């Protein structure tokens, strides 16, 4: 059986999250997909930020995140979060990770794409 390719997305801007999540969900049909959210990108994993979006009647992102999780996409938030003084209050199924974790996974990746 052919080995699944591993694709890693590195997202530093929250405004790119929707595009990446859509692409990741699509790619997850035939590949192993991981997304690292860093700096401003990590905001999208925070429950408070998603609640703010919901109040603005924009819950697309929450739906996309859940769809990605359901599709087997692995989501990682930056351990060294700088966006929230109180720390990230992540949605379920998100792992906090640092550079060491990224490198371990990236060494075995077939493609790394930054957004």
Partner 1 sequence: METKKVIVFALHDELESAYPPLNISIGAASSGADVVLAFSRKGINMLDPSYIPTPSKGKEYLANALAEFPVPSIPELLAIATELGVRFVVPDIDLTEIQTLLDIPYEKVPLKWLLNEAATADLFVHF
Binding site for partner 1 (CB under 8 A): 10, 12-13, 15, 38-41, 82-83, 85, 98-100, 102-103, 106-107, 109, 112, 114
Q: Which is nearer to partner 1, 72 or 98 (CB)?
A: 98
Compute φ and ψ for 25, nearest 5 degrees. -60, -45
CB 87 to partner 1: min, Å: 11
Q: Which is nearer to partner 1, 13 or 69 (CB)?
A: 13
Q: Which is nearer to partner 1, 40 or 62 (CB)?
A: 40
CB 15 to partner 1: min, Å: 7
Q: Which is nearer to partner 1, 28 or 81 (CB)?
A: 81
CB 66 to partner 1: min, Å: 25
CB atoms within 10 A of CB 104: 10
Compute φ and ψ for 10, nearest 5 degrees. -120, 115
Sheet hosting strand 94-97, strand order edge to edge: 94-97, 74-78, 31-37, 5-11, 111-114
Query: Which residues make Cβ contacts (< 8 Å) with residue 2, sequence separation at least 6?
Result: none
CB 81 to partner 1: min, Å: 9
Please, which residues bridge with residue 46 across strands?
Answer: 90
């Amino acid at each position: 059986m052919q080995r699944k390719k591993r694709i890693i997305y590195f997202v530093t801007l929250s405004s790119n999250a929707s595009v990446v999540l859509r692409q990741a969900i699509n790619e997850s049909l035939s590949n192993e997909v991981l997304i690292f959210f860093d700096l401003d990108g990590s905001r999208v994993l925070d429950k408070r930020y998603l609640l703010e979006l919901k109040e603005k009647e924009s819950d697309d992102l929450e739906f996309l995140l859940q769809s990605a999780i359901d599709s087997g996409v692995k989501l990682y938030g930056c351990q060294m979060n700088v966006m929230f003084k109180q720390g990230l209050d992540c949605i379920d199924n998100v792992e906090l990770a640092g550079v060491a974790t990224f490198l371990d996974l990236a060494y075995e990746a077939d493609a790394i794409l930054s957004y």
